[in-house]
C-alpha cells in the first residue's frame, strides 16, 4: 500500500515539499489538472462527463516534528516542537535531521543520575537537546538553524493485520485519496492535499474560498481510544471497528444531514463504522465549513493508536473499509 512509502517521508508543517513531490508524481496520470498554490497546497481536479454538486475531498500532507533553533558550544542542538507533541513521548528518541537526514538522539539525563525531585517531573522542552555526537558547534556543519527534524521511524507490517509507522496523521488520508482517484467517476471533483494543518489548519483556510465546494469530505487518521483507561472514560474509536465519523470536535460541528447520509450509506453497504469521541481534536473541515457562504462538511477517519508520537498503529481492515465508505459517499454525492 502507498501508505508505507508516504509514512516514511518527512514533511512537517512548512516543510511538505518531499511529500508533495511524491503525491504529484503518483496522481498526475489520474487527474486532469494539478496546481500548487502559494501556501503549498496541492490542488488536483478530475473531470467528469456529468454535472452535479461540486465536491472536494481533502487530506493534509504535514506531520508533527521539530525545528532546530540553536547550536550549543558543546555540539548539542536546541530545538522546538512543530505541532502538538507530548514531551513524554520524545525522551531519548532517535531523529533524522535536515536535508541530509543526519541521525541524532533527544538527550535526557539518565535515571540513575536524577535526584528524587527530578525523577517525579517531566522535563521541559527547553531542558532537552539533540545529540548528534559532535564535540563542539564547529563540528555541526551540515545542520542549520531552521532545519527540521523527524522521528526516525520506518513503516512495518505485522502478521496480525496491524501496521506501524509515523505520520499516520494524515498520510492515511493522503493514501486514501491516491487510491480513490484511480477509480472511474462520472462527475467532476477536486482532490486537495493541504499544508500546515498541524499548526492551525492554515492551508485549508484558503481552499474553501478558492474552490467553493458544495460538499467537502475530509479524510483523516484520528486518535484511537482503545488503550488502558478508567472505565468511565469513553474509549472510542477502536482499532478494527471500521472508520470513525465525526459528530463534533474542537474545530467544527459536522453537518447533521450529511452525517446521516454517510451513516445510511455505511449501513446499506454493510460497512462497519463508529462515532469518534466527541470534542476531541480538530481537522481542516473546521476551516472549510466556514468558508464562502458555508460548506457542508463531513469527516471520515481511520483510527490509529498513538498519533503525534514516534510510532502509530493502524488496522489494514479499517483502512480498506474507510476507502470503501469514502468512495461510496463520493459517488452518492456526485
Residues 50 and 95 in one domain: no
> Which of 122, 151, 180 finishes a domain?
151
Residues 85 and 54 in one domain: no
Q: Choose the weakest-confidence range: 26-40, 43-57, 68-82, 233-247.
A: 233-247
Residues 141 and 183 in one domain: no
Burial class (CB in 10 A: 0-12, 13-18, 19+), 305: buried
Residue 229 has pLDDT above 70, yes or no: no
Contacts of 98 (CB under 8 A, 6+ apart): 68, 142, 143, 144, 147, 148, 149
pLDDT of residue 26: 97
> Which of 100, 124, 151 finishes a domain?
151
Average pLDDT over residues 171-178: 98
pLDDT of residue 116: 67
Please give the tally of structural domains in the chain. 2
What's the whole-model pTM score?
0.94
Residue 161 lies in a domain: no
pLDDT of residue 49: 84
Residues 220 and 277 in one domain: yes
Please, what is the average pLDDT of the chain?
Answer: 93
**64-75: pLDDT as tens digits:** 999 999 999 999
Residues 129 and 182 in one domain: no
pLDDT of residue 6: 98
What phi-psi label fits residue 214: left (phi over 0), alpha (psi between -120 and 50 degrees) or beta?
Answer: alpha
Distance CA 110, CA 284 (A): 40
Residue 309 lies in a domain: yes
**205-218: pLDDT as tens digits:** 999 999 999 999 99
> Which of 151, 180, 202 finishes a domain?
151
Which domain does 104 fall in, by range? 65-151
Residue 158 lies in a domain: no
Residues 88 and 128 in one domain: yes
pLDDT of residue 231: 62
Residue 160 lies in a domain: no
Residues 88 and 228 in one domain: no
CATH of the domain at 89: 2.40.30.40
Residues 71 and 185 in one domain: no
Residues 108 and 200 in one domain: no
CATH of the domain at 216: 3.40.630.10
The verdict on whether 197 is a catalytic residue reads yes
Distance CA 270, CA 63 (A): 32
Residues 214 and 185 in one domain: yes
Residue 108 lies in a domain: yes
Residue 156 lies in a domain: no
Catalytic residue among 16, 63, 197, 220: 197
Residue 170 lies in a domain: yes
Contacts of 248 (CB under 8 A, 6+ apart): 254, 278, 279
Question: Is the C-alpha dihedral spanning 320, 265, 185, 211 positive or negative?
Answer: negative
Average pLDDT over residues 257-264: 97
**267-312: pLDDT as tens digits:** 999 999 999 988 888 999 999 999 988 999 999 999 999 999 999 9
Residue 27 lies in a domain: yes
Residue 33 has pLDDT above 70, yes or no: yes
Residues 305 and 184 in one domain: yes
Residues 215 and 233 in one domain: yes
**121-130: pLDDT as tens digits:** 788 888 899 9
Residue 115 has pLDDT above 90, yes or no: no
Residue 230 has pLDDT above 70, yes or no: no
Amino acid at each position: 500500500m502507498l501508505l508505507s512509502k508516504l509514512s516514511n517521508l518527512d514533511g512537517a508543517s512548512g516543510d511538505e515539499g518531499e511529500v508533495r513531490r511524491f503525491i504529484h508524481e503518483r496522481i498526475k496520470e489520474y487527474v486532469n489538472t494539478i496546481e500548487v498554490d502559494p501556501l503549498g497546497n496541492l490542488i488536483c481536479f478530475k473531470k467528469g462527463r456529468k454535472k452535479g454538486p461540486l465536491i472536494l475531498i481533502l487530506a493534509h500532507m504535514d506531520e508533527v516534528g521539530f525545528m532546530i533553533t540553536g547550536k550549543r558550544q558543546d555540539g548539542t542542538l536546541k530545538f522546538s516542537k512543530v505541532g502538538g507533541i507530548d514531551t513524554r513521548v520524545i525522551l531519548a528518541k532517535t531523529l533524522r535531521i535536515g536535508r541530509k537526514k543526519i541521525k541524532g538522539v533527544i538527550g535526557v539525563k539518565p535515571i540513575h543520575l536524577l535526584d528524587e525531585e527530578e525523577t517525579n517531573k517531566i522535563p521541559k522542552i527547553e531542558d532537552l537537546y539533540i545529540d548528534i555526537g559532535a564535540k563542539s558547534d564547529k563540528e555541526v556543519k551540515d545542520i542549520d538553524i531552521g532545519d527540521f527534524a523527524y522521528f526516525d521511524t520506518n513503516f512495518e507490517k505485522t502478521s496480525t493485520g496491524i501496521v506501524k509507522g509515523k505520520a499516520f496523521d494524515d498520510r492515511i488520508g493522503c493514501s486514501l485519496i491516491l487510491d480513490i482517484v484511480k477509480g472511474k467517476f462520472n462527475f467532476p471533483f477536486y482532490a486537495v492535499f493541504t499544508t500546515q494543518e498541524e499548526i492551525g489548519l492554515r492551508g485549508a483556510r484558503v481552499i474553501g474560498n478558492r474552490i467553493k465546494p458544495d460538499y467537502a469530505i475530509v479524510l483523516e487518521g484520528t486518535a484511537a481510544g482503545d488503550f488502558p483507561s478508567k472505565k468511565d472514560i469513553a474509549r472510542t474509536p477502536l482499532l478494527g471497528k471500521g472508520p470513525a465519523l465525526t459528530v463534533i470536535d474542537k474545530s467544527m460541528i459536522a453537518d447533521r444531514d450529511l452525517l446521516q447520509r454517510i451513516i445510511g450509506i455505511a449501513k446499506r453497504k454493510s460497512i462497519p463504522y463508529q462515532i469518534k469521541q466527541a470534542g476531541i481534536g480538530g481537522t481542516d473541515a473546521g476551516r472549510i465549513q466556514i468558508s464562502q457562504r458555508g460548506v457542508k462538511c463531513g469527516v471520515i477517519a481511520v483510527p490509529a493508536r498513538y498519533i503525534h508520537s514516534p510510532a502509530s498503529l493502524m488496522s489494514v481492515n479499517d483502512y480498506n473499509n474507510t476507502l470503501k465508505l469514502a468512495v461510496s459517499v463520493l459517488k452518492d454525492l456526485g
